[in-house]
Chain A
Amino acid sequence: MNPFKTLVALALLVLTPLAHAFDLQQLSDQLAKPGVIHGAFVQEKQLRSLPQPLTSKGNFVLAKDSGLLWLLDTPLKQDYRITAAGIARRDTDGGWQMLPGKSAGAEQNRLFLAVLQGDSSGLQRDFDVQLSGDAQAWQLTLVPRSMLLKQVFKQININGAALVQRIELLETQGDSTLLKMVDSSSAQPLSDSERADFAD
């Protein structure tokens, strides 16, 4: 075969997907569009020694300007809130109790928010990021760069369409967590009680 032709063919192979690719910037723009997302979640924590996963369910509210409300419903009721100020937990009499900032915890939550909000610039610093698919069905694969993160996570997979639908955390130790966001919608603004929850 003509070596020149081979080269051109190879170049086309490499270039074509790029030309039409759905890139990280587009994904970021797409995920950053909605101001408020309401939805339900199912969390399945798969532990190596357990035959079935630990499953929990609840609802969440992600507000671009305020933060995240994570309302766990079953098997136990517990509300969490992540804002710029840190993580808080609703105590028995309804007030928010700030959790003492733990360095590693705080960093993980920054990641969590970055993933949910599609902040790929924040993710690219710590992970090798690979995007595949298109705007209607994409998958983001995150592989940690640093030695420290590698000792905790093997890989993080995020799938979605207009919004994030599925997050899978594969831990180095063999456990994994699957988070499914169902019925997510960006149609409604914050309710008064949600606004109050973010405010205090």
Chain B
Amino acid sequence: MPIERLLPRLFLIALLAVLALAGWQWRHGAPLSANLMELVPGSTPDALELRAEQRIQEPMNREMLVLVGHADAEKAVELARQLSEKWQASGLFEKVQWNVQADLPALREQLLRGRLAMLPPKDRTEFIEHPEAFIQQRVQSLFDPFGGFSLVPSQEDWLGLTGRIQNGQPMHGSVQLDIGSGALIARADGKSWVLLRARTRADAFDMRLPLHVSALLDEARQQASASDAQLLAASGLLYAAHGQQQATREITWVGGGATLGILLLLLLAFKRWRVLLAFIPVMVGMLFGATACVALFGKMHVMTLVLGSSLIGVAVDYPLHYLSKSWSLKPWRSWPALRLTLSGLSLSLATSCIGYLALAWTPFPALTQIAVFSAAGLVGAYLTAVCLLPALLNGVELRPAQWPLKIAEALMNARSRLLTRVGTPVLLGMLLIFCAAGLLQLTTRNDIRQWIAAPQSLTDEARSVARITGYQPTSQFFLVRGADQQQLLERQTSLSQRLDQLVTQGKLQGYLSLNQLVATPAEQQATRAALDTLPAHWQPLLALGVPPEVLNNELANLRALPVQSIDAVLAGPLGEPWRLLWLGSNAEGVAGIVSLQGLNDAALLREQAQDLPGVQLVDRLGDLNKVFAATQISAAELKLASCVLIVLLLILPFGLRGALRVIALPLLAAVCSLASLGWLGQPLTLFSLFGLLLVTAISVDYAILMREQIGGAAVSLLGTLLAAATTWLSFGLLAISSTPAVSNFGLSVSLGLAFSFILAPWAGRQHESRS
């Protein structure tokens, strides 16, 4: 038989080609990614918005804030210094900073140069409108011993403009500069906390970095507790490290558990070591899936791997299709068994692929990846099962154990006895009542937080760091656009006025906006113009003994100061906190970010942007939650569409009536699962819906098996039982995941599988005549 020799050879050549491709893809190490943001819908096509978002997220993913706390401030400083030296030497960090090394000459220089451009709005208004009061306050401050030290000596700035710029700088949380050591110290809970900032060389999504950083931190914690100190840390890196460790653990559990369970099942049922070869399609499937994923998306997300590991249970169903025929086919030979089941196998592949690929049309890149991974994986497993495995099993005569068949027969008998007492319509009625009551209790919940399984300890610690330091960056921000710098700063000023109100009401902790740092060109001109009125009001300064020529000289210097652009001000040391916020010029004009501290009420923020032209609130998480809700509806539509496709496909072998019956059972199973979620008090999430979408596609397979009835009802049920058991072994294990999204998915698939199995026998022909 030439075809039975040709197929395995052709397949091996194809397999070698895929292996070579995979080898090339992995040449620089694993093409894996852990960036959660890659998995959620990219709802922002706007390049500027995207860039702004990256700017805001970058520090969260690269920086770590560490607080070293000790009852004795000096010990805390010393520990922070040691820690910083050690970390700097580790080579993981670009910069580890525990003290301020202020370049005072540069600061003085910028303050003097920016006297007109950087004067805070309130002081500018007073300077222009009430010059006499301005001078009076200056005189007062010259005698004030507690005004704080001014960086610029009085005689270089007789009007005290630099002092006002210094005082007008937004407060940076509740940390204080310790001028002795230069450390930034906050006091809370009876301890002095020294702030340490570490900036890594790569970001959190470099696969190795987060684990290294987390290990260094753990080591530092031990060291700290040995000297009675406490360490608190907050960083996106730590979440990434945790997520990675968890993903690895779960892949091991789900993948390993499913593999072991399936192998054990195969051995127990078929009693032949060679039957373990049935696992080859699974491995080839995983290879195909991963290769297709990397080829299409450049890399694969760890979440795809976690969810994709459930494919093991589905892929093993293909060999099971013909292996299970060994209970009826005597003697069992691989190629004839395959030929008998080939049409069913192909149908099953087609329906499963339709189900998985339906996921690809949701707006979630995560699901698109999973869909591609799974569809390619199924094709790989199918091809192996059809082309290679029969050749490997050639000559094996299967004499399977009889106990599984006895179970299946017992189940069929139990069912028949039940049906003789209670008719199908009554059972259906009871089932529908169960469903209706369950559905009534069903609640929905959608939140991006379901994607993240952050442990309580990490979030608690981040909250403590925010409380102690006052640094509480929010992910929302405003994006402000303008035709030029003048317009941009004007628009930011309008926004600032509204935000200031929120700050005084205590609803917002603070914000950073470029207009806090530099005045518009027009305002700078106005300040300059006000200089002309000054000589009429500076009598109090003359009265102190300041010579008139000194003051005239000062006036000339101020007039000579140039109008300063945003870029010029940002270049100086005072511009540092704002540098990230300036997006520069683009085709439409210029743009800047207004970053926020300590507010998460998106509705309140959105109000602030109303009727302000060029001002836009960017709230990725809020937008995402909306996308989640909207997707739920489109997912339901997708489900129906995929069912129509499957019906069309099944009309060919089964006719319209048969096709409808075959599709009705998985749909009913899905409704039953929904109802069960309701009874269990579990919320319906987008992920449980996706799970049900998938289970429909998989369980069509069971209905097909039962419909075809090759080898009798009991043997078919046994085939279904084995298929369902293996699939459940892998999906059911997902339910143990600590990521709510993944465990939700696992739970709904498990429920769906159970109901599909129970309902599958009704796909058989004989009952049409009976009922």
Residues of chain A touching chain B, judged by Cβ–Cβ distance below 8 Å, are 43, 45, 47-52, 54, 56, 70, 72, 75-76, 78, 80, 82, 87, 99-109, 112, 125-126, 145-149, 151-152, 171, 173-175, 177, 179
Q: Say whether A171 contacts B153, CB under 8 Å.
A: yes
Residue of A nearest to B147 (CB): A105
CB distance from B628 to the nearest CB of A (A): 43
Q: Say whether B179 contacts A104, CB under 8 Å.
A: yes
CB distance from A103 to the nearest CB of B (A): 4
Residues of A within 8 A of B21 (CB): none
CB distance from A56 to the nearest CB of B (A): 4
Q: How far is the CA of A99 from the CA of B171 in the complex (A)?
A: 13
Q: Say whether B153 contacts A105, CB under 8 Å.
A: no
Residue of A nearest to B169 (CB): A102
Residues of A within 8 A of B148 (CB): 102, 104-106, 108
Q: Say whether B544 contacts A43, CB under 8 Å.
A: no
Whether A76 touches B140, Cβ cut-off 8 Å, given contacts A48-B155, A148-B102, A171-B153, is yes
Residues of B within 8 A of A48 (CB): 153, 155
Contact with A along B165-182 (1 / 0, CB 8 A): 001000100011111111
B139 within 8 A of A: yes
Q: Say whether B182 contacts A146, CB under 8 Å.
A: yes
B545 within 8 A of A: yes
Q: Which residues of chain B from 72 to 120 have a CB within 8 Å of any chain A CB?
A: 74, 100-102, 104
Residue of A nearest to B154 (CB): A47
Most buried by B among A45, A100, A103, A175: A103
Q: How far is the CA of A88 from the CA of B176 in the complex (A)?
A: 18
Q: Say whether B544 contacts A54, CB under 8 Å.
A: yes
CB distance from B263 to the nearest CB of A (A): 65
Main SS class of interface, B: loop
Contacting A126 at CB < 8 Å: which of B101, B102, B177, B179?
B179
Residue of B nearest to A122 (CB): B180
Q: Say whether B180 contacts A146, CB under 8 Å.
A: yes
Residue of A nearest to B143 (CB): A56
Q: Say whether B100 contacts A148, CB under 8 Å.
A: yes
Whether A148 touches B149, Cβ cut-off 8 Å, given contacts A50-B545, A103-B176, A107-B176, is no
19 additional contacts, CB 8 Å, given A106-B176, A125-B74?
A43-B145, A50-B547, A75-B544, A76-B140, A78-B143, A80-B146, A100-B171, A101-B176, A103-B177, A105-B148, A107-B178, A112-B146, A126-B180, A146-B180, A147-B182, A148-B180, A151-B104, A175-B153, A177-B145
CB distance from A155 to the nearest CB of B (A): 15
CB distance from A106 to the nearest CB of B (A): 6
Q: Which residues of chain B from 139 to 165 have a CB within 8 Å of any chain A CB?
A: 139-140, 142-149, 153-155
Residues of B within 8 A of A52 (CB): 545
Q: Say whether A174 contacts B143, CB under 8 Å.
A: no
Total chain B interface residues with beta-carbon distance under 8 A: 33
Residue of A nearest to B104 (CB): A151
Residues of A within 8 A of B143 (CB): 43, 45, 54, 56, 72, 75-76, 78
Residues of B within 8 A of A43 (CB): 143, 145
Contact with A along B278-296 (1 / 0, CB 8 A): 0000000000000000000
Residue of B nearest to A105 (CB): B148
B550 within 8 A of A: yes
Q: How far is the CA of A51 from the CA of B545 in the complex (A)?
A: 8
B392 within 8 A of A: no
Q: Say whether B177 contacts A104, CB under 8 Å.
A: yes
Q: How far is the CA of A152 from the CA of B151 in the complex (A)?
A: 8
Q: Say whether A87 contacts B179, CB under 8 Å.
A: no
Residues of A within 8 A of B146 (CB): 70, 80, 82, 87, 99, 105, 108-109, 112
Residue of A nearest to B176 (CB): A103
Residues of A within 8 A of B178 (CB): 107
Main SS class of interface, A: mixed
Q: Say whether B180 contacts A125, CB under 8 Å.
A: yes
Q: Say whether B182 contacts A76, CB under 8 Å.
A: no
Residues of A within 8 A of B182 (CB): 146-148
Most buried by B among A45, A87, A104: A104
Residues of A within 8 A of B153 (CB): 47-48, 171, 173-175
Q: How far is the CA of A70 from the CA of B147 in the complex (A)?
A: 13
Residues of B within 8 A of A100 (CB): 171
CB distance from A35 to the nearest CB of B (A): 23
Residues of B within 8 A of A56 (CB): 143
Residue of B nearest to A123 (CB): B180
CB distance from B152 to the nearest CB of A (A): 8
Most buried by A among B148, B177, B545, B550: B148
Residue of A nearest to B148 (CB): A105
Q: How far is the CA of A148 from the CA of B184 in the complex (A)?
A: 13
Q: Say whether A145 contacts B546, CB under 8 Å.
A: no
Residues of A within 8 A of B181 (CB): 146
Q: Say whether A76 contacts B139, CB under 8 Å.
A: yes
Q: How far is the CA of A59 from the CA of B345 in the complex (A)?
A: 99
Q: How far is the CA of A43 from the CA of B154 in the complex (A)?
A: 16
Residue of A nearest to B139 (CB): A76
The 29 listed contacts between A and B (C-beta, < 8 Å) are: A49-B155, A49-B550, A50-B545, A50-B546, A78-B144, A80-B145, A80-B146, A100-B171, A101-B176, A102-B148, A103-B176, A104-B177, A107-B176, A107-B179, A108-B146, A125-B74, A146-B179, A146-B180, A147-B101, A147-B182, A148-B101, A148-B104, A148-B182, A149-B180, A151-B102, A151-B104, A152-B104, A173-B153, A177-B145
Residues of B within 8 A of A105 (CB): 146-149
Q: How far is the CA of A139 from the CA of B177 in the complex (A)?
A: 29
CB distance from B185 to the nearest CB of A (A): 9
CB distance from B712 to the nearest CB of A (A): 85
CB distance from A18 to the nearest CB of B (A): 26
Q: How far is the CA of A50 from the CA of B542 in the complex (A)?
A: 11
Residue of B nearest to A68 (CB): B146
CB distance from B730 to the nearest CB of A (A): 58
Q: How far is the CA of A75 from the CA of B545 in the complex (A)?
A: 13
Residue of B nearest to A173 (CB): B153
Residue of A nearest to B543 (CB): A75
Whether A54 touches B545, Cβ cut-off 8 Å, given contacts A112-B145, A146-B180, is yes
Which are the 7 A-B pairs with shortest beta-carbon distances? A105-B148, A126-B180, A49-B155, A173-B153, A103-B177, A151-B104, A103-B176
Q: How far is the CA of A146 from the CA of B546 in the complex (A)?
A: 34
Residue of B nearest to A127 (CB): B180
Whether A175 touches B145, Cβ cut-off 8 Å, given contacts A54-B545, A104-B177, A149-B180, is no
Residues of B within 8 A of A78 (CB): 140, 143-144
Q: Say whether B142 contacts A54, CB under 8 Å.
A: yes
CB distance from B448 to the nearest CB of A (A): 37
